[in-house]
């Protein structure tokens, strides 16, 4: 990924707005701790130049991104609030694995209201495969230090039964590889007419991790869907899910279900929602919002529990007489 940083004081304290090919992400690192503040879908293509504008005014962070050479969007693509950092330097930051080069063609930093706005933004960047890992930029890049991706799927593949191989090359596990309720259709993951709850697991085991998923369900009548963390088998996991009326934390330990917390959240059938579920130590966090909007600035629900310490990331569905549809899934370290 690559993007812009604001309020940078050292490699452990900064705000970053970046694109990773699938999303525009607002991220903070404060005293060495990473936090994903906002994730907004944005499909970017390798080798294409993009312009990115990132603003920090008071506690409000705003960002927009667009293909270079086209008109800048009239509104911000993503906006969130955070009070962790109050001042610092401006720059760029990139994660450059082997075989990839990031190229910056221009860079400009302004004080809002302190200089004339640029009529046509020209800050562009491209990411293209090369034989060696190099990075060139108009300002000095800071070392890599973003959360490690554990798993990702955009479901962009031919129609098939089961979920098969994800876009990151890993194979879905749990029920997604065995149950006929799972399928790929029209570049989305489906779970249909399930007589019981099913789990879909992707990526390696982790201790502190978070999941972002975009999904919908055709009806909420005794149905639900959500993200799971620290899954070891179908009898042991944490889940953050929506059922049409609430955002709920649930655990299953040695086969016993326990509702840890429930907060009101009205969800509509057929509407896409983004669920952000995180576990760090004994604390569970969750947010949910309509995928067409931006993530809430604070956590909607938090709770503590010490029953499970590590496990796999994924999703879990109850879709009786209904179809749950997933358009994207991301798991990363927290």
Give the per-residue pLDDT at 146.
Answer: 67
Give the per-residue pLDDT at 71.
Answer: 86
The number of folded domains in the chain is 2
Q: How far apart are CA 291 and CA 141, in angstroms?
A: 32
Are 246 and 303 found together in one domain?
Answer: yes
Give the per-residue pLDDT at 35.
Answer: 85
Are 175 and 286 found together in one domain?
Answer: yes
Give the per-residue pLDDT at 98.
Answer: 61
- The secondary structure of the chain in percent helix, strand, coil, rounded to multiples of 5, reads 0, 55, 45
Q: How far apart are CA 59 and CA 62, in angstroms?
A: 10
Of 136, 161, 194, at which residue does a domain stop? 136
Are 314 and 281 found together in one domain?
Answer: yes
Are 114 and 158 found together in one domain?
Answer: no
Are 105 and 245 found together in one domain?
Answer: no
Residues 6+ apart with CB under 8 A from 298: none
Are 59 and 122 found together in one domain?
Answer: yes
In this structure, what CATH number is given to the domain that contains residue 301? 2.60.120.560
In this structure, what CATH number is given to the domain that contains residue 68? 2.60.120
Give the per-residue pLDDT at 225.
Answer: 98
Cβ-count burial 39-49 (b if 16+ within 10 Å, e if not): bbbbebeeeeb
Across the 334 residues of the chain, what is the mean pLDDT of every consecutive 10-residue run? 91 91 89 84 89 90 90 88 89 78 85 48 42 34 62 95 95 96 96 91 97 97 97 97 98 97 97 97 96 90 97 96 96 93
**Does residue 180 sit within a domain?**
yes
């Amino acid at each position: 990924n690559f993007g812009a940083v604001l309020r940078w004081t050292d490699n452990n304290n900064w705000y970053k707005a970046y694109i990773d090919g699938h999303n525009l992400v607002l991220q903070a690192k404060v005293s060495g701790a990473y936090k994903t503040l906002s994730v907004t879908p944005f499909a970017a293509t390798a080798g294409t130049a993009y312009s990115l504008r990132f603003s920090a005014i008071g506690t409000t962070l705003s960002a927009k991104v667009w293909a270079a050479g086209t008109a800048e969007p009239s509104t911000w693509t993503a906006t969130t609030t955070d009070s962790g950092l109050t001042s610092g330097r401006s720059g760029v930051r990139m994660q450059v694995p082997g075989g990839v080069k990031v190229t910056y063609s221009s860079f400009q930093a302004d004080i809002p209201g302190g200089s004339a706005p640029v009529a046509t933004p020209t800050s562009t960047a491209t990411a293209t495969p090369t034989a060696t890992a190099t990075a060139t930029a108009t300002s000095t890049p800071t070392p890599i230090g973003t959360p490690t991706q554990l798993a990702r799927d955009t479901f962009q593949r031919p129609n098939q039964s089961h979920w098969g191989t994800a876009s990151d090359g890993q194979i879905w596990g749990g029920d997604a590889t065995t149950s006929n309720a799972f399928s790929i259709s029209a570049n989305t993951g489906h779970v249909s007419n399930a007589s019981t709850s099913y789990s879909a697991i992707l990526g390696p085991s982790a201790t502190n991790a978070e999941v972002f998923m975009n999904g919908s369900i055709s009806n909420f009548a005794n149905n639900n869907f959500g993200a799971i963390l620290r899954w070891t088998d179908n009898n042991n996991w944490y889940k953050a899910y929506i059922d049409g009326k609430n955002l709920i934390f649930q655990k299953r330990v040695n086969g016993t279900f326990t509702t840890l917390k429930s907060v009101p959240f009205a969800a509509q059938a057929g509407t896409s929602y983004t669920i952000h579920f995180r576990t760090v130590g004994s604390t569970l966090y969750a947010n949910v919002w309509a995928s067409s909007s931006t993530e809430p600035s604070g956590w909607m629900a938090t709770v503590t529990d010490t029953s499970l310490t590590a496990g796999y990331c994924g999703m879990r569905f109850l879709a009786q007489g209904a179809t749950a549809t997933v358009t994207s899934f991301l798991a990363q370290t927290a």
